[in-house]
Amino acid sequence: MFRKKVLNLINTIVANSCKCPAHSHNYGSATATTQTGRKEYAFEMSASTVRFGPGVSAELGADLVNLGAKNVCLVTDKNVAKLASVRVAFDSLARHGINYEVYDETRVEPTDESFWQAALFARRKQFDAFVAIGGGSSMDTAKVANLFCSDPEAELLDYVNAPIGRAKEISVKLKPLIAMPTTSGTGSETTGVAIFDYKRLHAKTGISSKHLKPTLALVDPLHTLTQPERVMAFAGFDVFCHALESFTAVDYRDRGPAPSNPRLRPTYQGRNPISDVWARFALDTIRTNFMDAIYQPDNLEARSGMHLASTMAGVGFGNAGVHLCHGLSYPISGHVRDYKPSGYSGDHALIPHGLSVVISAPAVFEFTAVACPERHLEAAQILGANIAGVRNADAGRLLADTVRGYMQRAGIENGLRELGFSSSDIPALVEGTLPQERITKMSPREQSSEDLAKLFENSMQVY
C-alpha cells in the first residue's frame, strides 16, 4: 500500500510539472521553495573547509581540540579501521587526549536500516562532535548520525527528500563534523548530501541540505595507496561523472523562479561559473592521472591527483548538481541481484556506486548533448578527444565514445547485462528513477518515461 501511494504521488508530480527547459519545479532542495515568479538571477557557493596534503591525517586530534570537542563519535567501518594510514589519525586522537567512541557498523552502500542504526547509536550518547573516516558510505552515515542525534525527536523520513520522505527543512544546530575520505570518488567530504538505499522501494534516495556539509575535510592522499584496483576504478568513475554531469547540468539561471527567501535557494542550483572551474579542473586531472591511478597503486602523484579531483568535483557538483547518470544509477543499485565486485568486502550483493553511475554515461551524454552541444564538445576535448571539425550535431556521439574509451581502458563491465539485468527489468528501473526528480530535473534536457526506458535499453550493452 505504501509503495502504491508513493508511486501515485510521483505520477501526480510528473503529470503536473513544468514541461519547459527551465524545469520550474523545485528539484534541488529538500524543502518546497516559495517562488517569487522572478527568474533566478543568483547562485550560492558553499563548501566545507578543505585541507589537503600527504600526512594531514595527523592533524585530526589538534583540530578536535581547537573545536573544543570533549566526546567524539568516530564513524568508520571495520576494514578501514585496520589500515595503517588510518591508525595515524587514531594515534593523533590519543596524543591529544580526545575521548572518542568508534562506530564501525557502517554498511557499504547504506540502507535506511543501516542509517537508522547509526542514528540510534548516536542518540544514546552525548557526543559533541563527529568524525567520519572512510568512503562515501562512512561519511554519509556520519552526517545522518549527526542530524538525528541533534534532533532526537525526528524520524528518518522526516528529512528524506520528497516524494519518498517529508522533506523537512533542517533547523536544528548540528555538531561539528570532520570528514577524512579514504577513497577517491564520492566527494562526500564537501557535500550536503547523504544517500541511502530505501529497501521498501528498491531505489536510492537521500537527505539534502547545506547544513549537512562537514565542517572540515581532511584530504590525505596517503590513504589512497591502499585502495584495491577495482575500488580505485569504480570510485574514480564517480568523480568522472560528478564532473561531467555538473558541467552539463542546466544553467542556474534557467533552473526556475528565484526563491522568496535566499535561505530557500536549493542545494543543487545548476551549473554556474564557479562550479565550472571545479568541473574543468577535475576533468583535466582525470585525463592525466586516472589510468595510472588504477593500474599503478604505488603512484602517489596519480592517486593524489584523483583524490584532489574527487574533492574538487564534490565542491562543483555539491552546488551545481548532477543529473541523469546519477538518477539512473539509484534503481540500478537498488535492484542488484547477485553481482559481487572484486576488491570489496561483505557478503551481500553490491553494485558499487561509481559503476552504477558510469554504466549509463555513454547513453546519457548522447541524449543530453542536443541541449548544450558546445559543453559536450568542450568536455570531450578536456578528456583528450580531438574536436577539430566536429559538428554540434555530433557532440553527443563524440563524448559518448570518449567515455566508452575510458571505460574500456579501465576494464568496466560491458553494460547492464553483465551486471545481471535484462530488458525485462527496464519498467522497474524506470519506476525507480521517477522518485529521483531532485536530480533528473537537473538534466539540460527534459525526459519522459519513454526516454528513460530508451536510456536503460541503450545501456544494456556499452561496447
Beta-carbon count within 10 A of 288 CB: 13
- Would you list the DSSP string of 37-80? EEEP--------EEEE-TTGGGGHHHHHHHHT-SSEEEE-BTTG
pLDDT in the model for residue 28: 36
pLDDT in the model for residue 35: 62
Mean pLDDT, to the nearest integer, of 79-99?
94
**pTM recorded for the entire structure:** 0.88
pLDDT tens, 436-450?
A: 888 999 999 999 999
Mean pLDDT, to the nearest integer, of 158-175?
94
Residue 249 cell numbers, joined: 547540468
Q: Is there a contact between 80 and 239 (Cβ–Cβ < 8 Å)?
A: no
Mean pLDDT of the chain: 91
Q: Is the pLDDT of residue 75 over 90?
A: yes
Closest CA to 187 of 237, 131, 127, 259: 237
